[in-house]
Amino acid sequence: MDKTIDLSGIIAILKRFWWVVAVLGIIGMATAFLYTNNFVEKKYEATSQVLVKPEKNEDNRNFDVQLNKQLISTYQVIVTSGNVLNQVRDKLHLPDSNKELASRITVTNEGASQVLVIGVQDTSPEQAVLVVNTLSEILQQEAKAMMDEKNVRVLSPAELENSKAAVSPNLKMSIALGFLAGIGLAIVMFVVIELTNTKLRTREDVEALVDIPVLGSIERRRLS
């Protein structure tokens, strides 16, 4: 007899042993919490703001807008350029390669503003603050040296107080996934039990096994 999954049987087992599902869910949550807190490396992020303000052209405002967009895009590239990263690594004596350092840097633009937000992630909040502030200062120097642009300045340097909370891992997400994993394990376990159960419990089970119709059945009763 080919054994197929009986959803009604599995649901009945889940209802009967709901406490097993709950216990495995709680164990999954606890495991995820302990693993995330003790074995997953925490990362911190520090951000600084850099103002990019080009010279105004009183005769053509559209030109100013276009120039501003181009400068923002240009500085987004310069921040992670090899020249800038080499200076940061040399100044702070970082062991990271340019590729590794660039992977920890994010550069975004606040809407349509002239402000660049530079972010750096690190396993140490102090190091993240140090790297992003150094990066911002070197960017300001490079703007003057490479593009003769004097209107680039650090608007708001990173502060340690704002970088003490870990940005990863996401503890709440890990706990939720652990809970779902526990429930999933319980369901898989009950499916296996259902598939490996060789007891004949219904008329259909008997007919499928012997391939002959069942003429009758005797109910099981307890003697009083």
Shared-domain flag, residues 163 and 194: no
Note whether residue 14 is domain-resident.
Answer: yes
Residue 147 has pLDDT above 80, yes or no: no
Shared-domain flag, residues 73 and 148: yes
Note whether residue 2 is domain-resident.
Answer: no
Shared-domain flag, residues 184 and 157: no
Shared-domain flag, residues 65 and 164: yes
Note whether residue 221 is domain-resident.
Answer: no
Q: Which domain holds residue 206?
A: 7-39+170-210
Residue 57 has pLDDT above 80, yes or no: no
Shared-domain flag, residues 14 and 48: no
Q: What is the pLDDT of residue 60?
A: 45
User: What is the share, in percent, of the chain residues with pLDDT greater than 90?
Assistant: 46
Residue range 79-118, pLDDT digits in tens: 999 999 999 999 999 999 999 999 999 998 877 778 889 9
Residue 62 has pLDDT above 50, yes or no: no
Shared-domain flag, residues 66 and 31: no
**Residues 6 or more apart in contact with residue 90 via CB below 8 angstroms:** none
Q: What is the pLDDT of residue 63?
A: 40
* DSSP state, residue 17: T
How many structural domains comprise the chain? 2
Cα 23 from Cα 29, distance rounded (Å): 10
Choice between 69 and 216, residue whose per-residue pLDDT is larger: 69
Q: What is the pLDDT of residue 161?
A: 93
CATH number at residue 59: 3.30.70.1130
Mean pLDDT across the chain: 82
Residue 33 has pLDDT above 80, yes or no: yes
Residue range 38-50, pLDDT digits in tens: 899 999 999 999 9
Residue range 184-221, pLDDT digits in tens: 999 998 888 777 766 666 666 666 666 667 666 666 66
Report which listed range, 46-60, 74-88, 117-131, is most confident. Answer: 117-131
Shared-domain flag, residues 157 and 48: yes
Shared-domain flag, residues 126 and 75: yes
Note whether residue 223 is domain-resident.
Answer: no
Note whether residue 125 is domain-resident.
Answer: yes
Beta carbons of 44 and 121 less than 8 angstroms apart: yes
Phi, psi of 81 (to 5 degrees): -75, 155
Burial class (CB in 10 A: 0-12, 13-18, 19+), 47: buried
Residue 170 has pLDDT above 70, yes or no: yes
Note whether residue 190 is domain-resident.
Answer: yes
Shared-domain flag, residues 28 and 128: no
Note whether residue 218 is domain-resident.
Answer: no
Note whether residue 219 is domain-resident.
Answer: no
Choice between 182 and 70, residue whose per-residue pLDDT is larger: 182
Shared-domain flag, residues 33 and 48: no
Shared-domain flag, residues 149 and 78: yes
Shared-domain flag, residues 70 and 153: yes
Q: What is the pLDDT of residue 183?
A: 94
Q: What is the pLDDT of residue 1?
A: 45
Cα 136 from Cα 216, distance rounded (Å): 86
Which residue reads 């406490």 in tokens?
19
Residue 153 has pLDDT above 80, yes or no: yes
